[in-house]
Amino acid sequence: MKNRFSAFICLTFFALMACAPVRVNYDYDRNTDFSKYKTYNYFQDLNIGMSELDANRFLDALDSAMAAKGMVLSDTPDFLINVQSNAYNVGSQSSVGVGIGGSGRNMGGGISVGIPVGQSTLNRQIQVDFVDPQGGGLFWQAISEDSFYQDDAPEAKEEKFNAIATEILKGYPPTKK
């Protein structure tokens, strides 16, 4: 019974961590007519910055999300996609404070020390650029950021990349305000 409870707690923790929100920032050229972009392809010299397996997983997820938006992968594309990724450590943001203080008649003093608690986490930033190869240049960009685990199972990585690609394309095409 104790083992089942421990397993349940562990699975719940990892499920919550896998569902952590993906933060995405968007930017775009306000003068762009987004309705003219229906077909796409990737830069030929794409160097994503992930392992080959992860890069293929992400591109598959992006292709699926693009298809859901009605976009078509083509050899004669309306625009090209560039993808860049980098991973970095984020230090622990928790700490425990220890303080010592004293006072006397006309004297006072104190010492405080913050002790970091927990481990740093590994985050990944993925930048997706839409570029018009006919001289229009960069017209849309999304930058996602989230935590990831290198030791995740391939299925968990696919699920995470699908969530990232879907979240990235929520902002495309941008809505005029």
pLDDT tens-place string over residues 76-124 = 999 999 999 999 887 555 555 555 555 555 555 555 555 555 556 789 9
Extract the tokens encoding 123.
């985050």
pLDDT of residue 102: 58
CB neighbourhood size of 48 (10 A): 19
The pairs formed by 47-53 with CB atoms below 8 angstroms and a separation of 24 or more are: 47/84, 48/83, 48/84, 48/85, 49/84, 49/85, 49/86, 49/87, 50/85, 53/154
